[in-house]
Amino acid sequence: MRRVPRRAVDQVVGRLRAPSGHTGGVRIYLPATFAELDAHPAPLSIGAAHGPTAFVRAALPAEDEEAWEFVAQLAAADDSLARVTDDDVPLRLVIVAELPEAAVRAVDGAAEPSQVLLAEAVAWRDVVCVLVDEPEAAADVRVARTGDAEAAARLADRDLLWYDASELAAVPRP
């Protein structure tokens, strides 16, 4: 586990080369819950995710790939918060994968310009890493789920922790 500042997460992730079995292509950010993480090795059937779409690129033409992926990561973290239920581990969780371009479709008119739809379930061999809140964020996650804007703002200021796909068992829980 490495603690990585939010702006640097995609820089670190972006430097990773896909291990054997990865398809390359498009980096996507899947909002997830610990129930989905714990279902490993079952494929991830999340359906909607986030990525550096043409809409993100058009909205931020002066930015680079790192910034476009960071937008997708933040949107996935927000969506992860919305997916957490009372029975889930109260932490935001984002699963990062690389998929072939044919497996990812941007959504015209989506509420988030980074939103993409996935043509099929994501295999764990395509997962590069997971990003997760530190356990101390659990109280803010619980309160933010009730609509508390201050707790949501504190979460937005928090760094996500980065775990390689080989470190799934080390992902922290409160």
- Model confidence at 24, pLDDT cuts 50, 70, 90, reads low
Q: What integer is the mean pLDDT of 56-76?
A: 93
Residue 125's nearest CA partner among 50, 46, 20 is 20
Mean pLDDT of 140-153: 96
Distance between CA atoms of residues 122 and 145, nearest Å: 27
Query: Strand pairing partners for 153?
Result: none
Contact 132, 40 (CB under 8 A): no
Tens digits of per-residue pLDDT, 150-165?
999 999 999 899 999 9
* Mean pLDDT on 37-47: 88
pLDDT of 18 strictly over 50: no
Q: Is residue 115 part of a domain?
A: yes
Is 10 part of a structural domain of the chain? yes
Q: Say if 147 falls within a structural domain.
A: yes
Looking at the 3D structure of the chain, how many domains does it have?
A: 1
Residue 100 belongs to a domain:
yes
Residue 17 has pLDDT above 50, yes or no: no
Contact 80, 92 (CB under 8 A): yes
β-pair partners for 94: 31, 131
172 domain-assigned = no
Domain contains 171: no
Tell me if 128 is assigned to some domain.
yes
Range of the domain at 55: 2-166
The tokens of 99 are what? 């998929």
- 141: exposed, middle or buried (Cβ count in 10 Å: 0-12, 13-18, 19+): buried
Tens digits of residue pLDDT in 100-139:
988 999 888 888 999 999 988 999 999 999 999 999 999 9
In a domain? residue 13: yes
Sequence-distant (6+) residues with CB within 8 A of 37 are 93, 95, 130, 168, 171
pLDDT at 8 over 80: no
Helix-strand-coil percent breakdown of the chain, rounded to 5? 40, 20, 35
